[in-house]
Amino acid sequence: MAKAKITFTDIEQTVNVPAGTRVIEVSERIGAGIIYGCREGDCGTCMMHVEEGWNNLTEPSVLEEKVLRENMASRHDRLACQAQILGDCKVKPA
């Protein structure tokens, strides 16, 4: 299975994950600083900033785009409960 590295820069921790893993699954177990609310892409609480590897996450859905807009997300912000890791990337809480 393809692997990818995700780095949580707030805690300087990198995890080697199977491609397709959602960011939420990793960040909660590793204790990164991203905070979660509904866990289903609705509340916007888990917004994170992608520092590197923006293109190595799955594309945001129409619903995620809407929530990001409502939360005044900047260009490289995503919802950690929705984004799946496809390749190496670096993220931190937004």
Partner 1 sequence: MSSAASVIARDRADQARAVEVAPGVHWVGALDPGLRTFDIILRTANGTTYNSYLVRGEEGVAVIDTVKAEFAEDFFARLESVARYDEIRVIVLNHLEPDHTGALPELMRRAPQAQLYISKRATPMLKALLKPRDDRPLTYTTVGTGDEVSLGGRTLRFLHTPFLHWPDTQCTWLAEEGVLFSGDVFGCHHCDARLFNDLCGDFRFAFDYYYAHIMRPFKGYVVDALKLIEPLPIKLIAPTHGPILRDRPRRYVTRYRELSTPSLAERIDQGERSLIIFYMSAYGSTARMAEAIRAGAEEAGGIRVSLYDLEGGEIQPFVDLIESADALVLGSPTINGDAAKPIWDLLSSLAVIDLKGKLGAAFGSYGWTGEAVKMIEDRLRGLKLRVPVAGLRIKLIPTDEELEECRDFGRALAGALVRGEQGRVIDFADLG
Shortest distance, position 44 Cβ to partner 1, whole Å: 6
Measured CA to CA, the distance from residue 32 to residue 3 in angstroms comes to: 20
The secondary element (H helix, E strand) that includes residue 13 is strand 13-18
Shortest distance, position 59 Cβ to partner 1, whole Å: 21
Binding to partner 1 by residue 5, rule CB under 8 A?
yes
C-beta atoms surrounding 20 within 10 Å: 12
Out of 37, 51, 59, 61, the residue judged to bind partner 1 by CB under 8 A: 37
Of 54 and 71, which has the nearer Cβ to partner 1? 71
Shortest distance, position 3 Cβ to partner 1, whole Å: 9
